[in-house]
Each structure stands twice: as C-alpha cells, then as structure tokens.
Amino acid sequence: MNERSATAGQPVLALDAITKTFPGVKALDGVHLELHAGQVTALVGENGAGKSTVVKTLTGIYQPDGGRILMDGAEVSFPSAQAAADQGVTAIHQETVLFDELSVAENIFLGHAPRGRFGLIDTRAMSRKAQGLLDGIGAEINADVRLKDLGIASRHLVAIARALSVEARVVIMDEPTAALSQKEIEELYVLVEALKAQGKAILFISHKFDEIFRIADRWCVFRDGQFVGQGLMSDMDEKTLVRMMVGRSVDQVYPKRASVIGDEVLKVVGYCHPTEFDDIGFTLRKGEILGFYGLVGAGRSEFMQSLIGITNPSKGVARVEGDIKVIRSPADAVAAGIVYVPEDRGKQGAILDMPIFQNVTLPSLGQTSRSGFTRMAQEFALARQYVERLDLRAASLDTRVGALSGGNQQKVVIAKWLATRPKVIILDEPTKGIDIGSKAAVHDFMSELAAEGLSVIMVSSEIPEIMGMSDRVIVMREGRIAAQLEGEDLSPETLVRHAAGITDNARGKAA
Amino acid sequence: MTMLKSREAILTGAILLLLILIATRFPGFVAPANLMAVFNDTSPLMILALGQMVVILTRCIDLSVAANLALTGMICAMLNVAFPGLPVAVILIVALACGAVMGAVNGLLVWKLAIPPIVVTLGTMTIYRGIIFLLSDGAWINSHEMSPAFTGFPRTQILGLPVLGWLAILVTAGMALIMARTPMGRSFYAAGNNPHAAVYTGIDVGRAQFRAFVISGTLAGLAGYLWISRYAVAYVDIAGGFELDVVAACVIGGVSIAGGVGTVLGTILGALFLGVIKNALPVVDISPFWQLAISGAAILVAVTFNSRSGRTRGRIILKSVEKAT
C-alpha cells in the first residue's frame, strides 16, 4: 500500500518520512504527503491520526524531529509561522482567529499591511487590495465594514481572503466546512475550484466522505501517526478508504469487564432543541456503558448539556428509574442523579484556587452541612472516601487543586461527581488529550464503575475507545440519532458510515 | 492556600514594621488607647471592605458603596429629625434595609440584565448621590438637629472600645463564619474562581453575584448610619471617593481583582494597613501629598504581589496544557 509517488510530476510540497514526538506520544511516525499544483489532496484519518500535527508542521508552528520537507524538490525548513508564510504556505484553520472591532481589510492585512510614507499603514491601498482579494474569491463583502457586522459564513470568507493575502502556493484547509451550512459549503466548493484553477496546491482535511469524493483529486491516509497510503481519488472507493482509516484490532487495549446489565435507569424520549438537536430518545440500563459517537459538531455535547440543564430543551421527557424528572438547571440534574464530566476539564471542571476537599464537596454541601453550616469533619470524610477510591495522591486534602497535575485534577473532578452518588454519569471525551497510561487508567475505572452498577454515558470521537468500552453505541449525525449499534452490527466501518452519512449502496465517486 | 497565608503574614509584618517606625518618632502613637482609637476610626472601612471583598470574589466590583452609605445615612438622619423618639434599633433596621435594597438594585441589574458591574455601580453611584440631593435639597443636617441617642450610639463605650469598633468586630466574625462555613460563602469563591465549572456544579453564578451585592449594600447601609451619627453631620458629598479606599483595602489585603481569591483576615489587615497610614502620617508630620503617595504605593505593591502569585498559577496550568497536546 506504500505507493509513495502515485503520479508523475514534481509535487509543489512534499513531506518525506516526517517524525514528530511529544513526551509519551509519537504524533507523527515517518509520514509522507505530496501536494500537487492545481490539485486538492484530501488528508483522511481518525482523531489522533496526526492530521493537526501535520498542519502545524507545515505552517511552521511545530518543528519536525526527523524527515525532510521538500518544496519543488528542494529541501526547506519552516522555523517559524512567518517563514512558512514567506515561502507560500498558508492555512485556514478550523476556528479562525479574527478581530471583531477591526475592519475586514484590517483583519485581512493584520501584520503585513501595506506601508506608505513614514512607515505608516497605507489604509487606502490596504482597503483596495483587500477588496480585490474579496472580489477574487467571489465574496460580496465590503472591505471597510467592521468584522462584527458579518455573519459566520462571511467571516469565513474573510479568513480565506486573509490566507490568500500572502502569495500562497499551498493552501491548507483544516475542516473548513465544519461550521458552515449547506449553502455556504456549496459556495466554498466553488472557491476551492477557483483556487485549483489558479494552480494552488490544496490540502483539504475533512471527516465528511461526501465532500472528499466530491472535491478531492488525491487522497492520503494517516492512522495513529503513521502513513497508511496515498494515491488518486479516481482509483479509490469509500469502502476501501474507511477500511484504511480505521483498520486495526482494538480488543487487547481495552479492559472492558463484563458487567451485569440490569433494569432501565434513564429513559429519554423526544428531546428537541430549536437549533442543535432533534428527537433524541434512548434508554440506559443499570451497569451499562452507552457510547455516543459522531463527528465533531454532530450535537452530542449539546444534547448532553441540555440533558443536565445547562440549556433547556424545547421538548422532551427524561425519566430516571421511571419517574419523570424536570431538569432545568445543573442542580436539578444532580438532584435527579445525573452528573456530567465536561470535555473541557480545565475550564469547566475544577475550581483551581480551592483546596481538594472543597472541590469534592461543592455539589454535595447539602449532605455535609447541618442547619445551613458546613461541617469540616464531614467534608473531609466525604472527600477522603472518594479521593482514596480514585487513588489520588496529594500531600493533603487541603492542597490547592491548581497545584496538582492535569491527571490528578481530573480525578478531583470525577471524585466530586461520584460523591453526589449519581445513578448516571456522563463522560464527555474522557480521554481526550491525556497520555496512553492515564487513558488506560480512565478506561479501567469506567469499567469498574459500570461493574458496580453505575450507568455510564461516554461521548467519544475515538473509534477504538467507543468500540472497546461501549456495550451499545448511539451514532449521532447533524443533530439526530443516525443509528443504534450493538453486537455484530458494531464495527468501525458501520460507525464511520453512519456518522458520515454514507448509505450502503452509494459507492465510489459521487460525481 | 499557603501562599495566601504567607501573604497575610507579610501584611501583618508590614503593619508592625510601620508601627515600629512611627513609634521611633512618636511613641505615643503605639499606646494601647491610641491603637484602639485607630482601630475604631478604621471600623467603617473594615465593614465596607468586607462587603466589597465578597463582590470582588464573584468577579464584580461595587463602586456605589460610598454613595449607598451617604444616602442611607441621610435617610437615617432625616428620620431622626422627623421622629426624634425613634429607637436606635429601628434606625439600625432601616439602615440595613435601605442598604440591602440599594445593593439588590445593583445585583439585579448585574444578574438579570447582564450589565458589567463597573457600569452598573458607576451609574447607581451617581443616582444614589442624586437622590440625596433630591431628599435634602442640598441642605446639611447638623449635630444640633440630631437626638443625643442617635449620635451617642456608636460612641458608647463597652470595655473601653466604642460600639462602632465592636460592630466592626461583629461583622468580621459574621463574615468569617459565612465565608468559611456556609454553602453560600463557598459559592462566592467557586463562582469567581471558575464560573464555568461553578455552573456545571449546580451553582447559579448570577445569583451568587446578586447575593454578594446585597451583602455589600447591607454593610454599606450599616456603615451609613454609623458614619453619619459618629460625625454628627449628613450631606450630599459625605464620604465622597471613599469607595476607592474600600477597593484599595481589598486589593492590599490580597483579594484578587480577577475574582475567586481573598480572605476575611486579609481584607481586615488591608483596611487596618490603610487605617494606620491615614492616622499616623499627620501625627508624624508628613504632608498630605505624601499620605496619598504612600497609600498609592501600597496599592501598587499589593497588586504586584497578586499578579506574581497569579503568574505561578499560570505556569502550572500551562504545564498541563503542554501535556495535553
């Protein structure tokens, strides 16, 4: 499968055996990638395959530990983001950083504005050039309006114009359609075609198979930081691509214990939200681990936040052990026995300046207080019980959480929720961004919780984790449940198919 | 936590050092009777600073405390003039209620309309002063119009310390209890230190901020009666600019302006530090210009301390972020 040069012709930009190591993780392990002039290359891979690391290597944010970067066949290096831009590599990121209070032209030329006399910014030239760029990509935007007056799609076009404001030969688009509506996506395709016609080499990163087959000329697959293969889109079909992307055995890594699955604990019926999700319904049994899989933006976290009362659903009923629970605030959810460990634990998890024991007892103060006053002894006892259970090592329970390591902070957050004695625990991307060793510990612990009769909902974008840990999987796509999979139906291929919306009879290139 | 404790130790040391320095030039200043007088004189600042501390903990600021004090004071004084026989207990209840209502107005605007606290309290500060003018027509109420019971209350001595000082001690004890031992006190720290996490934990951040403003307002109301009766005068501009001393006391006391960090003890020490400077400098014959400059320098030193401890925190967070990527 290692067809390193699928076509003749010199690539504009090529990666040759690039390696990048972070403490504990080999993010890129000898990967190859070729970008050709006037062609779109789709980079495909699961989360954690190394796509973002490649983008950062190409744009000078990371320096590779080994391997060569070649431009027109000559070895180059990108010691800084500026160096990459100077050599004609530009990226449109997933979430573009733009400035609301500045004009469109200022946003486009921030950092490299045309200078006039005395080194002052030549606003007129800047505005004129910006307008030229915007017209060039077919954006009907006035370069002099302030960015905050534009909608999301227009902002995206401004970001693209900014990327093109340097003389670009290579344009990297990192999931450019993730935040766009259908109509805006169509417009983006037109723009991509225009860039191709100008002879730019385009690297297109996407999880959506329909768009890969629609606009890409070449493909390249990474898996777990390793190069799987690359070639021409015309020789490729969806089935093969999915298999290359996920192909691996997952059994041995995951310590899922068989747990006794008991009675129904949570039943959700017809949960709806005007803009984020529609008609979500499922049941969860005692001791079960229910996986929620989907692409980024499928509405999984949004639904979970609604289930615990951060946002309110427009419709829908949640029953816990048969009783209808009206959950309109996180406090209601805790009272109903549903707790949520958010994805962004640094921001949404712990109170860093509070000692460990106060963090743990924060949602359980009713339990540890009497006549309105907290009782220190009870707080310490409760905190100690759960901290010991999670094997959290700290000098004392009075230690500030901010002084702990990331892994231990996470343990504090989990201890906090377990101390409320929940019936259902929702873990949102529980192992995102933690090293392999900690991952195994989290998985082990999750298994243990289920074995003890707690019901777990695990939101995850990592297929091996979903496959290895879940008793049953719900796949969400575009705010709806696309499939419920268990037993033999549950395979990496079916997961990807349902998440990406590939129907069984669609095959090969759509166009 | 140890960091904060050492910060309070540093502040205690600074106050002692200051007293020693003053004593070398003017030994009479450190006589017990005089120190008690300084404490008594600093009492309104301590009471207001404790309210302000709670507000700052929740990532807000209350600039209307001095105006609240002045308006409550004027209302109390006018009540006293109209009904000289009204017991002091009733006046106290009215003062607390007036202050609480004004605090609640701030709190509701911040909570329900999500207006930035600095804007809300800048607005209400002017409005409250304006209401005093409307009520009094700009006229002063002087000591001869007030009843002896009204003006005598804060000066009544118990065990050698006037009631004013005792009230400051009482408020300190009460606030210490609230902050350390009630779910509400805990919610102030949580809401200010990490609002996102607080929401997920089931804490209503907006309500916590509202409660903080009510506490701050109530204490300002209490200080309003005490101030007017102690100085036996009420007028529109009374305690003008005092809100800045209050904020300064908090900042010197180690309350982080970014929210979530601060203690009752630190705030009291911050207020006492300012109180000692204010009382000592005229005694040792230093010009008013230097008094202001020294107060200002103390604030800058305190803020530098805060940002330095903040930086250590930042480094720890970054390390985990680094690991995460």
Of the candidates A151, A194, A143, the one whose C-alpha atom is nearest the C-alpha of residue A171 is A194
In chain B, what are the domains? 2-23+37-324 (1.10.3470)
A6 pLDDT more than 60: no
- Residue A367's pLDDT is what? 81
Of the ranges A223-227, A347-351, B66-70, which is most confident?
Answer: B66-70
Residue with tokens 């209620």: B97
CA distance A508 to chain B (A): 35
Contact A329 B204 (CB under 8 A): yes
ipTM of the complex: 0.74
The residue count of chain A comes to 511
Residues from chain B that touch A351, judged by Cβ atoms under 8 A, are 189-190, 193-194, 197-198, 260
Verify that A315 and A390 share a domain, yes or no: no
Verify that A54 and A141 share a domain, yes or no: yes
Q: Report chain A's mean pLDDT, rounded to a whole number.
A: 84
Integer angstrom CA distances of residue A405 from A387, A434, B275, B316, B318: 15, 11, 41, 8, 11
Pick from B199, B201, B313: CB nearest A402: B313
How many whole angstroms separate alpha carbon B101 and alpha carbon A261? 55
List A428's β-bridge partners, or say none: A459
Q: Is B311 on the interface with A (CB under 8 A)?
A: no
Percent of chain A with pLDDT over 90: 29
Q: Is residue A510 part of a domain?
A: no
**To probe the interface with A, which of B57, B201, B261, B263 has the most A CB atoms within 10 Å?**
B201
Q: Given A399, A421, A443, which residue is the final one in a domain?
A: A421
Residues from chain B that touch A353, judged by Cβ atoms under 8 A, are 189, 193, 260-261, 313
Verify that A27 and A134 share a domain, yes or no: yes
Q: Is residue A430 part of a domain?
A: yes
In a 3-state reduction of DSSP, which class is residue B216? helix
pLDDT digits (tens, 9 = 90+) for A185-195: 787 888 888 88
Lowest mean pLDDT across A52-56, A295-299, A315-319, B268-272: A295-299
Q: For B32-69, what is the HEC assignment?
A: HHHHHHHHHHHHHHHHHHHHHHHHHHCCCCCCCHHHHH
How many whole angstroms separate alpha carbon B230 and alpha carbon B76? 13
Residues from chain A that touch B254, judged by Cβ atoms under 8 A, are none
pLDDT digits (tens, 9 = 90+) for A306-327: 999 998 899 999 999 989 999 9
Residue with tokens 């970054």: B318
- Residue B81's pLDDT is what? 94
* Average pLDDT, integer, range B301-325: 51
- Cβ atoms of residues A143 and A131 within 8 Å: yes
Verify that A48 and A164 share a domain, yes or no: yes
pLDDT digits (tens, 9 = 90+) for A43-99: 988 777 888 889 889 988 889 999 999 999 899 999 888 888 888 898 887 556 678
B243 pLDDT more than 90: yes
Q: Given A389, A421, A453, which residue is the final one in a domain?
A: A421
Verify that A319 and A177 share a domain, yes or no: no
Percent of chain B with pLDDT over 90: 66
Integer angstrom CA distances of residue B98 from B131, B166, B180: 13, 22, 27
- Residue A307's pLDDT is what? 94
CB contact set of B273 (below 8 Å; sequence gap of 6+) = B11, B14, B15, B18, B249, B252, B253, B298
Domain that holds residue A150: 13-246
Verify that A445 and A325 share a domain, yes or no: yes
Q: How many domains does chain A have?
A: 3
* Average pLDDT, integer, range B85-89: 93
Q: Give the CATH number, domain containing residue A259.
A: 3.40.50.300
Of the candidates B42, B41, B52, B43, the one whose C-alpha atom is nearest the C-alpha of residue B251 is B52
Q: Given A246, A263, A297, which residue is the final one in a domain?
A: A246
- Residue A2's pLDDT is what? 40
* Average pLDDT, integer, range B302-323: 50
How many whole angstroms separate alpha carbon A76 and alpha carbon A53? 18
Contact B186 A348 (CB under 8 A): no
Q: Which amino acid, A480?
A: R
Percent of chain A with pLDDT over 70: 90
Two tokens, residue B155: 């000066």
List A201's β-bridge partners, or say none: A170
CB contact set of A63 (below 8 Å; sequence gap of 6+) = A57, A77, A78, A79
Two tokens, residue B127: 């409005």
Residue with tokens 């959950």: A327
Verify that A273 and A380 share a domain, yes or no: no
The 10 Å Cβ neighbour count of residue B282 is 11
The residue count of chain B comes to 325
B320 to chain A: nearest residue by CA? A406
Contact A352 B261 (CB under 8 A): no
* Average pLDDT, integer, range A140-155: 84
Q: Is residue A3 part of a domain?
A: no
- Cβ atoms of residues A32 and A15 within 8 Å: yes
Residue, of A200 and B6, whose pLDDT is higher: A200
Residues from chain B that touch A22, judged by Cβ atoms under 8 A, are 325
Verify that A74 and A32 share a domain, yes or no: yes
Verify that A254 and A331 share a domain, yes or no: yes
A352 pLDDT more than 50: yes
How many whole angstroms separate alpha carbon A445 and alpha carbon A457? 14
How many whole angstroms separate alpha carbon A411 and alpha carbon A350? 10
Residues from chain B that touch A333, judged by Cβ atoms under 8 A, are 202
A240 band by pLDDT with thresholds 50, 70 and 90: confident
B53 pLDDT more than 70: yes
Contact B320 A434 (CB under 8 A): no
Residue, of B287 and A132, whose pLDDT is higher: A132
Q: Is residue A509 part of a domain?
A: no
CA distance A418 to chain B (A): 12
Residues from chain A that touch B200, judged by Cβ atoms under 8 A, are 308, 310, 330, 340, 342, 348-349
B65 band by pLDDT with thresholds 50, 70 and 90: very high
Residue, of B1 and B218, whose pLDDT is higher: B218
Q: Is residue A229 part of a domain?
A: yes
Verify that A199 and A231 share a domain, yes or no: yes
- Cβ atoms of residues A271 and A303 within 8 Å: yes
| DSSP assignment string, A439-491 | HHHHHHHHHHHHHTT-EEEEE-S-HHHHHHH-SEEEEEETTEEEEEE-GGG--
In a 3-state reduction of DSSP, which class is residue A437? helix
pLDDT digits (tens, 9 = 90+) for A448-493: 889 888 999 999 888 878 888 899 999 998 889 999 998 888 888 8
Verify that A268 and A403 share a domain, yes or no: no
pLDDT digits (tens, 9 = 90+) for B129-187: 999 999 999 899 999 999 999 999 999 999 889 999 999 999 999 999 999 889 999 99
A251 pLDDT more than 50: no
A434 pLDDT more than 80: no
Residue, of A423 and A276, whose pLDDT is higher: A423
Q: Report chain B's mean pLDDT, rounded to a whole number.
A: 88
- Cβ atoms of residues A469 and A256 within 8 Å: yes
A374 band by pLDDT with thresholds 50, 70 and 90: confident
* Average pLDDT, integer, range A129-144: 86
Chain A 261-320, CB below 8 Å of chain B: which residues? 308, 310
Verify that A259 and A240 share a domain, yes or no: no
What single-letter DSSP state applies at residue A258?
A: P
Integer angstrom CA distances of residue A501 from A173, A504, B141, B185: 22, 10, 79, 50
Q: Is residue A42 part of a domain?
A: yes
- Residue B322's pLDDT is what? 40
| DSSP assignment string, A6-61 | -SSS--SEEEEEEEEEETTEEEEEEEEEEE-TT-EEEEE--TTSSHHHHHHHHTTS
Q: How many helices (H) and strands (E) does chain B have?
A: 13, 4
Integer angstrom CA distances of residue A188 from A38, A52, A298, A479, B33: 16, 21, 20, 22, 80
